[in-house]
Amino acid sequence: MAVISEDHIEQVVIQEFIDLGYQYINGADISPDGLFQEREYHEVVLKSRLQKAIAQLNPTIPADAQEEAFRKVLRSDSPNLFQNNYHFHKYLTDGIDIEYRKGDRIAGDKVWLIDYTHPENNEFLVINQFTIIEGNVNKRPDIILFINGLPLVVIELKNASDENATLKSAFQQLQTYKQAIPGLFQYNALLIASDGWDALYGSLTAPRQFFVP
């Protein structure tokens, strides 16, 4: 009888997202040691992809104002993870307020990070093997979903054939990640925990009882 491994479950999940239209990338390939380096180990945003998306989605905004919005996304204004996540959520849903000179006046406008009207204009990535080093701590969440270079969803998978691998242990692993690599979760919109058979989702601040199937 074939044994179901955590890697097998991971590949099944990745294929589900590929079927939904996501592009698959192995995180090792875009790491500092990879063939197609895009990031340093402490960086959780795929910066070149985000810059490209900002330019494409906001063509009427001057380049220096686009750059200002980009810098705002990368900045952490508070030592509190949840406060930073709240600020980013406002950027994600309401746009980023910017000002720039337009002729002889100062114009106010918004820079958008996601095209909600035409989803096909966004870039969707499913990535595994995405190693993050923060404060000398090395972690590698199972799967991260990126939209326009932003790590919006973290998925923790447990082995369905392991009786000790439960939804509770998957949830607890996500809590451990929040403590160890908070930089990733500044951008989080959704957490998913799975034991290989069932899955629950919830928000960054939600306790276990508020995660739902």
Phi, psi of 168 (to 5 degrees): -65, -45
pLDDT single digits (tens) 126-164:
999 999 999 999 999 999 999 999 999 999 998 766 677
CB 58, CB 97: distance < 8 Å: no
Both tokens assigned to 198: 């069932």
Q: Angle, nearest 10°, between helix axes 63-74 and 47-57?
A: 140
Task: Give pTM, 2 decimals.
Answer: 0.93
Q: Cα(187)–Cα(178) distance, rounded to whole angstroms?
A: 12
CB 142, CB 157: distance < 8 Å: yes
User: 7 falls in which pLDDT band (50, 70, 90)?
Assistant: confident
Q: How far is CA 115 from CA 95, 126, 135, in A?
A: 10, 18, 34
User: 111 falls in which pLDDT band (50, 70, 90)?
Assistant: very high
Q: Per CATH, is 6-46+123-210 categorized as 3.90.1570.50?
A: yes
Both tokens assigned to 203: 């928000």
CB 113, CB 91: distance < 8 Å: yes
pLDDT single digits (tens) 33-58:
999 999 999 999 999 999 999 999 99
29 or 77: which leads in pLDDT: 29
CB 196, CB 156: distance < 8 Å: no
Please list the alpha-helical segments (H only) found in the chain: 6-19, 47-57, 63-74, 81-94, 167-180, 182-185
